[in-house]
Chains A and B, each alone.
Chain A
Amino acid sequence: MRVLFIMLCLSSAIARAEAGPSVSGWDLPQLMRSLGQVHASEGKFVERKYLSVLNKPLESSGTLLFHAPSHLEKHTLVPKVEDLVLDQGVLTIENKSRNIKRTLVLEEYPAVWAFVESIRSTLAGDLPTLERFYVIKLEGDAAGWRMQLLPRERQTREIVREIVIAGRENRVTSIEMSESNGDHSTMTVVEKAP
């Protein structure tokens, strides 16, 4: 499985970081604090992945479940049932129809880890972890914010170009990822009212 990781590292071009406009007034720690106050949340997602090997986007939808600080579940219902569970740094991907269960210890897959952490530490309001992985640029205000994440690690930059997480108040509404090879994906989240 280590080999998978090597392949992840090998598979990419050189990263390019972009600078965003600066933020004034309302700030990042404030945003993270308000996000941190949500201990559990649940929502529906629609994800579109634009991949160079495919001639049309890969569309999927299902539910998301988060329990602070480190338990995240992504249940895909359409087009196929698939469960993705993150707990204590271990990512389990289970495809019941194929009877396949993959377990990744995230530390061994820096790029996957970085991507998963971008979502988890945002939901948990965990600023130190987020800053360990990314250079963060925040735009907008509490009513509508947009956070641009640029990977710090070289290995991650070879795969992930940038991640943009947008939201309102203490809710995440969308996650966009651009990969270095030109692939990109967007996930929009509609949260269930608590």
Chain B
Amino acid sequence: MNLRLRIPVAAWLAFIAACALVISRSQFTADMSAFMPRNPTPTQKIMVEQLRDGVVSRLILIGVDGAAPAVLAQISKNMAVPLRTSSELVAVNNGEQVEMEKDFQLLWDNRYLLSDAVTPQRFTPGGLKESLSAYLDLLGTPMSGMAQRVLPRDPSGELIHLLEQLQGQGHPAMQDGVWFSRDGRRAMLLGQTKGAGNDLDAQERAMLAIRTAFENARGALPAAASAQMHMTGPGVFSVESRASIRDDAWRLSLIATLLVSSMLLMLYRSPRVLALGLFPVATGALAGIAAVSLWFGSVHGITLGFGVTLIGEGVDYAIYLFTQIEHGGTPRNTLRRIWPTLRLGVLTSICGFSAMLFSGFTGLSQLGLFSIVGLVGAVSTTRWVLPHLLPQGFSVHTSTRFSSGLLGLVRQAPRARIALVGAAALAAVFLTMHRHALWNDSLSSMSPVAKESLALDEQLRRDMGAPDVRYMVVLSGSDQESVLQHSEEIASIMRTQVQQGLLEGFDAPPLPSRAAQEARRAALPDAALARANLNMALRDQPFRSAVFTPFAEEMAAAKQRPLLDRDALRGTALGLKLDTFLVHRGDIWTVMLPLRGVKDAQGIEQGIRRASATPFVLLDMKQESEQMFRDYRHETEKNALLGALAIVALLSLSLRSIRRVLEVSLPLAAAVIAVTAWLLLTGHTLSIFHLIGLLLVVAVGSNYALFFDHQCASAQDRERTVTSLLFANAATVLGFGLLSLSQSPVLSAIGSTVAAGAVLSLIFSAILIVRSDR
């Protein structure tokens, strides 16, 4: 090999090394936020932030089942001990009274600061008479025991009022002193991780800490051997899908590589050529990942998973080259012959993928960039590197009977033209009729999470009494005090709306503003007045007045009590709740009020706007996310259409014949229509990943169509071309067919779409493209 020939190989090796270096320093992510718009509206921004690193994203729901309730309860208690001090978790709650006592004490000690019922009127003789009469009612019920216990120190009933406000909020059932599902078969724990939801390594460490705690707790109990633990939560999902995409991508690409390699080995009969054939794919994948990492700063797990799919297309280039070298010819001659077609095929694919490159969603533009760079890398390796490395005099021998039989089939194929055009037209009509049911715009369709995990999440949430929040009132401000004051104003409006039946209830941060606390403290009477007022209220009441001696002391103490701040709530369930609903990010404080049982969202929003000038946002997570994905899809559809137009323009320029452009485009269009109809008929609704699959069908299929369109010099040449197409197709179908078996909905959607689409575009090309060879 002389120097002139060595230069491309050396350059290629240097390029590979550079890519490897970039990749070794790349960051890999797998959270959903990559599929959020880059330029979100303020509302979308709130939602995206919540999904990315909001406290909600840090929650891990844990369920333990598979043993007797008493055993499960013991496991839960034993698990909680190490987890409470774990550095990966800021809190873990299993319903044990250890923690509740802290909360109870906090509520009890600060009841006069916390209760929104505290007003000067509340402690007048009339006000106290009213609360005493409410106590009297309570004494007649089975709850009289607890009422009697708090009555002497809390005759105005602040604790009961606070507890009743908390009662409306869902919580799990109790059994053996810890949280259980309603059916009593699963002990429940709730953890909050220290790391943000999108810090997958931190999430993974927290999951490991939980798993270790469980294994140790199980190991310590002889009756617990059958117990099992389940975890769910946004961070858990991200970690799991990263792992499953990584595992599936590895496993399936390994199997695909083995299968494709065995096939190619039979064809090439040379391990060296086989290895060479994988160079373009490997180069393309490395170049694609490196480019994404350099351009975007990080690589999404889905992009990485997508890397395997490139095997399908990248391997084709080498197959086209190797299989079409005629006996006694050189790779360079072959390339000279097929390069225009190959180049046009790559350009066509690039047009298709540019639809994704310009997407407003990071995840999709990553995929676009990855594919474009990957294809260019693969085809460049085929064009400039492989010819130098192929052994002298290499050519592929296939059995003559096989090749001529294949060619015979291809010659017969155009007979099916009318049938195919008719069927495609029918499918097109079918799709037009069902165009409204075509797309699945729900957030879950975008989720890389498997259906079983979503079902488990729903189950655990139900057990926990913590249904997914759909509506939230969100307001922001420059400091904690003002944003809390505003939220109190809105909360008081919504309380009247609850009574009007517009909603069932809502959650609020468990910390009142300082202004509210001061007002409440000022509303308390001094000890002497409290005693006098109570004595007046007790007149004509059946209560023993001696019972209430401690009340005056309580009042005196309460008037001296310091105001509550965030620190006072730390380490309690209420503190955890505060962190969830009051978020400090940068200079902005945000309060979130999740709503329950919303009957009339519009009415709520208008009601608040009428009564208050405080700016706020009523966030409808479901509607907002669906709207976001609709926008997203419309944009992608528009880009795909532009991509299709660009493909047609490119073909027109290159082929310079309307008939040829039509002939080349028709099989692709028919394949896309047929695959879409097939997906719909088999009960799928299309997600963005199917759209990506269809783009790949166009990319792969365009090569087939162009090679059929390519004019061959001889019948042997045609035979070789058709044989190379068949093997290229077989490699693609093997690769993507395997991918369709993946547990990950993303990989499986792309896999099944492309495998079916590739077969169809090959057959349709054979049927629709008639080229008279010389």
> Interface of A with B (CB < 8 Å)?
1-8, 10-12, 47, 49, 51-56, 58, 60, 76, 80, 82, 84, 91, 93, 95, 98, 102, 104-105, 107-108, 111-112, 115-116, 159, 179, 181, 183
Q: Which residue of B lies closest to A93 (CB)?
A: B141
A74 CB to nearest B CB, Å? 10
A91 CB to nearest B CB, Å? 7
A53-B543, A112-B143 known; A6+B173 contact, CB < 8 A: no
A1-B167, A7-B146 known; A58+B134 contact, CB < 8 A: no
User: Would you call A82 and B146 a contact (CB within 8 A)?
Assistant: no
Most A-side CB within 10 Å, residue of B107, B149, B184: B149
Bound CA–CA A47/B144 (angstroms)? 14
User: Would you call A82 and B542 a contact (CB within 8 A)?
Assistant: no
A3-B163, A6-B104 known; A107+B146 contact, CB < 8 A: no
List 10 A-B pairs, minimum CB-CB distance, nearest first: A11-B149, A1-B167, A7-B146, A112-B142, A108-B174, A54-B542, A55-B544, A3-B104, A53-B547, A56-B542
User: Would you call B139 and A49 a contact (CB within 8 A)?
Assistant: yes
Any chain A CB within 8 A of the CB of B101? Answer: yes
A86 CB to nearest B CB, Å? 10
A188 CB to nearest B CB, Å? 16
Any chain A CB within 8 A of the CB of B216? Answer: no
A4-B146, A56-B542 known; A49+B140 contact, CB < 8 A: yes
Bound CA–CA A58/B184 (angstroms)? 37
B544 CB to nearest A CB, Å? 5
Q: What are the interface flags for B3-32 relative to A under an 8 Å C-beta threshold, 1 for contact and 0 otherwise?
A: 000000000000000000000000000000
Select which of B103, B104, B145 is within 8 A of A11 by beta carbon: B145
Any chain A CB within 8 A of the CB of B166? Answer: yes
A3-B107, A51-B144 known; A98+B139 contact, CB < 8 A: no
Q: A7-B104, A7-B146, A102-B164 are in contact. List 10 more A-B contacts (CB 8 A).
A: A3-B103, A7-B149, A11-B145, A53-B547, A56-B542, A76-B140, A82-B137, A98-B137, A116-B142, A179-B145
Select which of A12, A55, A104, A105 is within 8 A of B542 by beta carbon: A55
Query: How many B residues, CB 8 Å from partner?
Result: 36
User: Would you call A105 and B145 a contact (CB within 8 A)?
Assistant: no
Q: Which residues of A contact B141 (CB under 8 A)?
A: 82, 84, 93, 102
Any chain A CB within 8 A of the CB of B414? Answer: no
Residues of B526-560 whose CB lies within 8 A of A: 542-544, 547
Q: Which residues of A contact B142 (CB under 8 A)?
A: 84, 91, 93, 112, 115-116
Residues of B125-139 whose CB lies within 8 A of A: 134, 136-137, 139
Select which of B137, B149, B166, B547 is within 8 A of A3 by beta carbon: B166
Select which of B100, B151, B175 is within 8 A of A53 by beta carbon: B151
Any chain A CB within 8 A of the CB of B331? Answer: no
Q: Which residue of A lies closest to B149 (CB)?
A: A11
Any chain A CB within 8 A of the CB of B148? Answer: yes
User: Would you call A51 and B150 a contact (CB within 8 A)?
Assistant: no
Any chain A CB within 8 A of the CB of B171? Answer: yes
User: Would you call B140 and A60 a contact (CB within 8 A)?
Assistant: yes
